[in-house]
Amino acid sequence: MTLSQDLQQLCQAQGTAQISVSKAGTLVFDQRPVSTPVDVYAVQKGIVSILIGIAEARYYLERVDAMNHILDPEWTQLTKPDEASLTVEILMDMTTGMNDRLQKHGQIGQDWFYNNVAYQKLKTALTLQTGLELNALTQAWLCEPLGITDASWVTRAKDAEGHAFSALHITAQSLRKIGEALLQDQLVDPYYRAALGTPSGSTNPAWHLLWWNNQAETHMRPGSDQRYTRPLLPYAPRDLISARGAGGHHLSISPSLGLVVAQTIDPAASSRPKPGHQQAFWELIQQL
C-alpha cells in the first residue's frame, strides 16, 4: 500500500468525517467522506482565541482587561476582590479559580480547571466589545477573508445543568484554511501566534490562550486532576499547537514544518480515534 492509502485506511478506522493536510501552503492530503459541516466541539476554543487576537489588534479589547470592565459585576460567586482580578487572559488560560458553578475552586491565575461555563463569557465579551453577534463576527473576520462558506455557530440543546452553549459547525477543509492563515500571520500578529505555542505558567503548561501546545513537558486533561509527565502528543512535532475537541476533532499546526492538519470526526461513526492510533497517525502525517 502507498503512504496515502495507509493514511486513508487509518482515518477510516478513526471514523473521520473530513481530513485536510497542507505543507508550506500546498495541499498534500484531502479526504471528505462526509460533505457536511460537523460540530467540532472544543476546537471552537482555538477559533475564539483567534477572534480575541484579532480583536486585540483592532483595539476592541486586551487580554489584560478585567472581565468586570466588560461584563456586569457579580457574574460569578466569588468575592468582589477575586472577581475583579479575573482578566480575559485568565479565562483563556482556564485559571479562573472557579468550578462550573462559578464558585471558588483553586488559586486564581495558577490552578488549571477546564471550565466550559466561564469560557462562554469570552464569547459574550467579544460580542459586547465589537457590537457583532458571534456568527457575524466570524463571517466578517474569518470566513469572508478566507473564502469559507460552510462555518456557522449553532446553539446546542440544553445540557444537564441547563446550559445552552453554542457549537461551531465547520469542515476540516475550512479549518485548514484558518490554520494556514494563522501560520502565515494573516490573522493575528506573530507575537500572539508565538504565545499559543509557549507553555503557560499554570498547573497545566500544555494549555495557553485556549490552545494546546506540545512544548510543555507535562500536561493535564479535561475532567481530571492527574498530571502526565510527558508532552501532550509525544509522536507529533514538538512545536505543534493544537485546538482539540472531544472525539478526535483537531486543528494542528507545526510552524517548523509548515504543516497544517485539520481532522473532523463523523458524529454517526461507530469508532473513534484510539490512543494507539496517535503514533501511526503522526508518523504518516510527517512522511507526507
pLDDT in tens, 4-20: 999 999 999 999 999 99
Answer yes or no: is pLDDT of 248 > 80.
Answer: yes
26-31: strand order across its sheet: 26-31, 16-23, 259-265, 249-254, 241-245, 211-213, 207-208
Measured between alpha carbons, how far is 32 from 18 in angstroms, rounded to an integer?
4
Answer yes or no: is pLDDT of 234 > 90.
Answer: yes
| 246, 41 contact by CB (below 8 A) | yes
pLDDT, residue 204, reads 98
pLDDT, residue 184, reads 96
Q: What is the mean pLDDT of residues 111-129?
A: 98
Q: What is the mean pLDDT of residues 169-182?
A: 98
pLDDT, residue 39, reads 97
* Domains, the chain, with CATH or none: 3-287 (3.40.710.10)
pLDDT, residue 181, reads 98
Q: What is the pTM of this model?
A: 0.97
| 202, 219 contact by CB (below 8 A) | no
Nearest to 221 by CA among 119, 141, 112, 135: 112
The DSSP secondary structure of the chain, one letter per residue, reads: --HHHHHHHHHHHTTEEEEEEEETTEEEEEE-SS-S-EE-TTHHHHHHHHHHHHHHHTTS--TTSBGGGTSPS--SSS-HHHHHT-BHHHHHTT--SB-TTS-B-S-TTTS----HHHHHHHHHHHHHHHS--HHHHHIIIIIHHHT--S-EEEEPPP-TTS---EEEEE-HHHHHHHHHHHHTTSSS-HHHHHHHTSPPSSS-TTEETTEEES--S-EE-TT---EESS-SSTTS-TT-EEEEETTTEEEEEEGGGTEEEEEEE-TT-S----TTHHHHHHHHHHH-
pLDDT, residue 242, reads 98
pLDDT, residue 163, reads 84
pLDDT tens by residue, 122-169: 999 999 999 999 999 999 999 999 999 999 999 998 888 888 899 999
Answer yes or no: is pLDDT of 218 > 80.
Answer: yes
pLDDT, residue 254, reads 98
